Amino acid sequence: MSKYDCLIIGSGLFGSVFAYKAARAGKNVLVIDKRPYLGGNVYCENVEGINVHKYGAHIFHTSNKTVWDFVNSFVPFNRYTNSPVANYKGNLYNLPFNMNTFYALWGVKTPDEAKEKIEQQCREAGITEPKNLEEQAISLVGRDIYEILIKGYTEKQWGRDCKDLPAFIIKRLPVRFTFDNNYFNDNYQGIPVGGYNKLIDGLLEGIETKTGTDFFEDRSYWKSNTDKIVFTGKIDEFYDYQFGKLEYRTVRFETETLECENYQGNAVVNYTDASVPYTRIIEHKHFEFGNQPKTVVSKEYSAEWSDGADPFYPVNDEKNTILYNKYYELAKKENNVIFGGRLAEYKYYDMDKVIEKALFCFRDGIE
Ligand code: UDP
């Protein structure tokens, strides 16, 4: 008899949601995490009364009412709406791409004028079927916006030429012919009041957890103590990199507390010019409308992942997709291991989709 019905490796959103459902179904669950705290990349650190998103900005948005009600049952979410500003060579533009952006760039005042401008630039570029991120971007918003707001930012973030990146990355962002600066199209959006730790604490309440505990340090011990494993780490590491290493992007944060109340007037300011080394500056207090006397800001520097760094983004290009599929074939043959989340599924997931998937996997894999 194993000690646990289910061992969950990693306490991010996938692991914590799965743990919650399994525990509610009467399973004996243990959650382990190699970091000294729970929550994976939604973990927040309180600095000067401000919830600092230690692993980068996490803005919750979803159109799935079940998911929205689910997260709100643990902690109320506020009305934060993401409206980033882009700084390009000292000029500010609204994101996502909308009439405010088009007006600032071209002086166009109506949707028809904006569409005509984009169509003209698209015709000049001769793109019919966009094959990569560059072509997709130009066909959506024209060459000017591509050059000013997309190319530099994307090449910094991914460390690759836009021609070598998949088109889907840029399709994450809305293009709107209205004066609407909301970054997301989803029906529901917000930040947990009091930070994401409240969500994780709620999900894991009453569940056994062990932090500072690395599965890979004693795999056979952990395997022999459980009937089922839910693995949320890197799938290539789970299989000892036997086909080679998948590529990830990591982010280095330069976080400072400043003796001012309001540094940039917005939670997110993107720096889209290639000559600025960071991609964006996050001012954390604005996620919760904070009025503390000080402020905390983080500059994000994107880099290629290597051992010892935190993997943040899978690089879903052709080469890595082929490699991932080899690992996926192995994963499919496992009877007692469920792989879930950004790292284990090598997928550029948003939080709501991770939760949706965990709820689905639970039904599929355990019930
Ligand atoms: N992007 C861009 N300019 C911006 C913001 C985003 O070109 O100012 C592109 C970039 O390629 C990025 C993608 O849009 O990888 C998705 O951006 P998102 O904000 O969804 O990225 P995340 O918040 O997940 O880092």
Distance in Å, CA 341 to ligand 1 centroid: 20
Q: Is 50 exposed, middle or buried (0-12, 13-18, 19+ CB in 10 A)?
A: buried
Q: Which residue has the tokens 């690992």?
A: 327
pLDDT in tens, 45-65: 999 999 999 999 999 999 999
What's the start-to-end Cα distance of the chain, in Å? Answer: 19
47 bridge partner residues? 50
The single residue of 247, 283, 300, 352 carrying the catalytic annotation is: 300
92 bridge partner residues? 87
The C-alpha atoms of residue 271 and residue 85 are separated, in whole angstroms, by 9
pLDDT for 366 beyond 70: no
The C-alpha atoms of residue 337 and residue 10 are separated, in whole angstroms, by 13
Phi and psi of 109, rounded to 5°?
A: -115, -15
DSSP state for residue 97 in the 8-state scheme: B
Which of 128-142, 179-193, 225-239, 294-308 is least confident?
128-142
Decide: helix, strand or coil at residue 219: helix
Report residue 152 as tokens. Answer: 């530099």
Beta-carbon contacts of residue 101 (< 8 Å; ≥ 6 apart): 93, 94, 95, 145, 149
> What is residue 362's predicted lDDT score, i.e. its pLDDT?
83
Query: What percent of the residues of the chain are helix, what percent strand, and what percent coil, each to the nearest 5?
Result: 35, 20, 40
Q: Can you count the helices (H) and strands (E) in the chain?
A: 12, 16
Distance in Å, CA 287 to ligand 1 centroid: 18
**For ligand 1, which residues put their CB under 6 angstroms from it?**
86, 95, 149-150, 153-154, 157, 169-170, 172-173, 270, 272
The C-alpha atoms of residue 91 and residue 151 are separated, in whole angstroms, by 16
pLDDT for 364 beyond 80: no
Residues in the chain: 367
> What is residue 363's predicted lDDT score, i.e. its pLDDT?
77
The single residue of 134, 176, 327, 342 carrying the catalytic annotation is: 176
